[in-house]
C-alpha cells in the first residue's frame, strides 16, 4: 500500500510539474506530455489550455498504401537535417480494432533517425478514425508545435473522400500517388482535389508515370496545383519537393479557415467524449428488440443527454 501511494504521489507531482511549465528540455518531456494528452489523463486540459503554439509549418503527407510515403518522408527528414533543421514526425498508423493500439509502431525506415537530436518521431494509432487521423491528432500536433521545431510532418494512412480531415490539420498537404493509381484517382477525384496542395507521383521510373502526371495536371486544371515526379528510394526529384516544403509551404496558410476546422473538430470530440461505440452497442442490445424501437429517436435521446 505504501509503495502504491508513493508511486501515485510521484505521478501527481510529475503531472503538476509538467503542467506548470511548458519549457521542453528534452524529447522525454514532450513524450510525457503527449502521453498525458493522448490518453486524456489528469492534467491534459491544463497542458492544452496553457499551450503557446508556434507558427511551425505542418506538412501533411498522405496517399494509398504502397505509394512509398514512408520512404519519401525519410528522404525529406534527411534533407532537412542536412540543412540544420529540427523536424518532428507524427506517423499515423493503422490500429487494432480490439485494442486501438498502433500495429506498426515507429516506421522501420525512420529508425536511422531515432538517435538524432534534431528529429522527434511519434507514432499515433488511427483508432478507427475514418479520415486516417486519430481523434487526438490536433492536440498532439499542437503540443509538438510548442516545442522548437522548424517543420512538423504528419504522415497519414490511406486516401479517399474521408481523408479530407487532414485539410483541417496541415498547412500544406502532399498527396503521394503511383502511376498505377489512375483508376483510383477517377473514383476519388472530388475528395483528392480538396486535400492536395501538391501531387507527388512517386516511383516515376515505372511505365506510365509521364502520362499519369499529365492526367493529374489536367484534373488540377486552373487551380495550378503542382505535380512533381520522384523516385523516393533513390532521391530523384527530391529537390523540387524540398522547394515546396521550405519555400511554398510556410507562406501557404489560410489561418482562419484552418483554425475554424480545428475548432469544429475539437468541439465535436468534446461533445462525443462520454459516448463510446461499445456503450451504444450495449444499450441497443437492451432496447432494439422493443416493438416501438426507432433508431432516430434513440439517437435523438443521446443528443439531448449529451
pLDDT digits (tens, 9 = 90+) for 178-236: 998 766 666 555 566 667 889 999 999 999 999 999 988 887 776 788 999 999 999 99
User: Could you tell me if 114 and 235 lie in one domain?
Assistant: yes
CA atoms of 22 and 51, how far apart (whole Å): 7
Kindly state whether residue 101 falls inside one of the protein's structural domains. yes
Nearest partner of 160 among 62, 57, 286, 305, judged by Cα: 62
pLDDT at 17: 46
User: Could you tell me if 45 and 62 lie in one domain?
Assistant: no
User: Could you tell me if 169 and 298 lie in one domain?
Assistant: no
Kindly state whether residue 267 falls inside one of the protein's structural domains. no
- Assess contact for 62 and 166: CB atoms under 8 A: yes
User: Could you tell me if 287 and 182 lie in one domain?
Assistant: no
pLDDT at 106: 42
User: Could you tell me if 120 and 256 lie in one domain?
Assistant: yes
Q: What is the CA radius of gyration of the chain?
A: 21
Of 8-17, 41-50, 75-84, the range with the lowest mean pLDDT is 8-17
* Domain closes at, from 14, 32, 49: 49
Nearest partner of 142 among 77, 76, 81, 55, judged by Cα: 55
Q: Is the pLDDT of residue 144 over 80?
A: yes
Nearest partner of 231 among 222, 223, 240, judged by Cα: 240
Domain containing 102 — which CATH number?
Answer: 3.40.50.300
* H/E run at residue 229: strand 227-229
Neighbouring CB atoms inside 10 A of 223's CB total 9
User: Could you tell me if 37 and 182 lie in one domain?
Assistant: no
Q: Which of 76-90, 111-125, 150-164 has the highest mean pLDDT?
A: 76-90
Kindly state whether residue 175 falls inside one of the protein's structural domains. yes
* Domain that includes residue 20, residue range: 2-49
Q: Is the pLDDT of residue 296 over 70?
A: yes
Average pLDDT over residues 151-162: 72
Q: What percent of the chain has pLDDT over 70?
A: 73
User: Could you tell me if 124 and 254 lie in one domain?
Assistant: yes
β-bridge mates for residue 37, sequence order: none
Number of domains, the chain: 3
Average pLDDT over residues 153-178: 75
Kindly state whether residue 268 falls inside one of the protein's structural domains. no
User: Could you tell me if 246 and 294 lie in one domain?
Assistant: no
pLDDT at 21: 40
The string of pLDDT tens digits covering residues 18-77 is 444 444 458 989 999 999 998 889 999 899 989 888 889 999 998 888 889 989 999 999
Kindly state whether residue 269 falls inside one of the protein's structural domains. no
Helix-strand-coil split of the chain, %, nearest 5: 50, 15, 35
User: Could you tell me if 109 and 175 lie in one domain?
Assistant: yes
User: Could you tell me if 206 and 306 lie in one domain?
Assistant: no
| Rounded-to-10 torsion of CA 179, 185, 186, 189 | -150
User: Could you tell me if 38 and 104 lie in one domain?
Assistant: no
User: Could you tell me if 212 and 239 lie in one domain?
Assistant: yes
Instruction: Determine the length of the chain.
Output: 306
The string of pLDDT tens digits covering residues 269-288 is 777 777 777 888 999 999 99
Which triple of cell numbers denotes residue 130? 475514418
Helical spans, DSSP H, in 58-207: 69-82, 137-145, 182-187, 189-195
Q: pLDDT-based confidence at 109, cuts 50/70/90?
A: low
CA atoms of 248 and 230, how far apart (whole Å): 18
Kindly state whether residue 270 falls inside one of the protein's structural domains. no
Amino acid at each position: 500500500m505504501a509503495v502504491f501511494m508513493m508511486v501515485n504521489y510521484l505521478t501527481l507531482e510529475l503531472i503538476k510539474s509538467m503542467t506548470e511549465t511548458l519549457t521542453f528540455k528534452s524529447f522525454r518531456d514532450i513524450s510525457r506530455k503527449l502521453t498525458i494528452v493522448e490518453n486524456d489523463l489528469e492534467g491534459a486540459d491544463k497542458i492544452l489550455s496553457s499551450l503557446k503554439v508556434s507558427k511551425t509549418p505542418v506538412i501533411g503527407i498522405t496517399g494509398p498504401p504502397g505509394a512509398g510515403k514512408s520512404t519519401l518522408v525519410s528522404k525529406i527528414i534527411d534533407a532537412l537535417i542536412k540543412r540544420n533543421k529540427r523536424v518532428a514526425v507524427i506517423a499515423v498508423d493503422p490500429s487494432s480494432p480490439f485494442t486501438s493500439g498502433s500495429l506498426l509502431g515507429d516506421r522501420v525506415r525512420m529508425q536511422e533517425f531515432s538517435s538524432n537530436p534534431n528529429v522527434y518521431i511519434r507514432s499515433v494509432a488511427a483508432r478507427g478514425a475514418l479520415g486516417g487521423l486519430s481523434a487526438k491528432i490536433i492536440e498532439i500536433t499542437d503540443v509538438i508545435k510548442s516545442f522548437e521545431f522548424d517543420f512538423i510532418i504528419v504522415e497519414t494512412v490511406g486516401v479517399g473522400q474521408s481523408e479530407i480531415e487532414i485539410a483541417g490539420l496541415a498547412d500544406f498537404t502532399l498527396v503521394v500517388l503511383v502511376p498505377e493509381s489512375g483508376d483510383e484517382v477517377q473514383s476519388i477525384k472530388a475528395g483528392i482535389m480538396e486535400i492536395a496542395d501538391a501531387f507527388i507521383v512517386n516511383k516515376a521510373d515505372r511505365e506510365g508515370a509521364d502520362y499519369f502526371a499529365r492526367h493529374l495536371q489536367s484534373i488540377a486544371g486552373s487551380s495550378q496545383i503542382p505535380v512533381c515526379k520522384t523516385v523516393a528510394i533513390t532521391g530523384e526529384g527530391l529537390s523540387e519537393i524540398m522547394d515546396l516544403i521550405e519555400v511554398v509551404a510556410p507562406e501557404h496558410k489560410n489561418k482562419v479557415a484552418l483554425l475554424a476546422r480545428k475548432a469544429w473538430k475539437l468541439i465535436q470530440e468534446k461533445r462525443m467524449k462520454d459516448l463510446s461505440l461499445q456503450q451504444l452497442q450495449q444499450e441497443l442490445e437492451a432496447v432494439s428488440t422493443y416493438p416501438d424501437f426507432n433508431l432516430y429517436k434513440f439517437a435523438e435521446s443521446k443528443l439531448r443527454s449529451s
